[in-house]
Amino acid sequence: MKGEVVHELEICLSAEEIWMIYRTLQLSELVVKLLPNIIHKVEVVEGDGGVGTVIIVHFSSEMSPVQSLKEKFTKIDDEKRIKEAHIIEGGYLQLGFISYMNRLEIIKKEDAVSVMQFRL
């Protein structure tokens, strides 16, 4: 099976402000605080948040058909504000997918308005 899902979300913050969080491991801390019913814990297995970093995301059991996934950051482009991560264990691979990549791009719309584009 091969496919792609794209979702865009407009946010009233500058692209630079959003990228400062999404580019780093601060995002891991933030998603646990903002989405406790979905994400239970995020562990950093290897790396400092740059390309090659490996994390394990543990899901809240009642919200997910899988308990965890391991992903590796494979691309971080500060100029274009793009971050890509591939699931390397568990998650959707456990459900039969051969490969799975998350791609986030922060697009500047106006000085204080940005679009977050998610590609799965």
Catalogue the active-site residues.
83
- The gap from C-alpha 97 to its chain's centroid, in whole angstroms, comes to 18
Sheet with 101-110, edge to edge strand ranges: 6-11, 113-119, 101-110, 82-90, 68-77, 54-59, 39-46
Question: Distance (Å, rounded) from C-alpha 113 to C-alpha 104?
Answer: 16
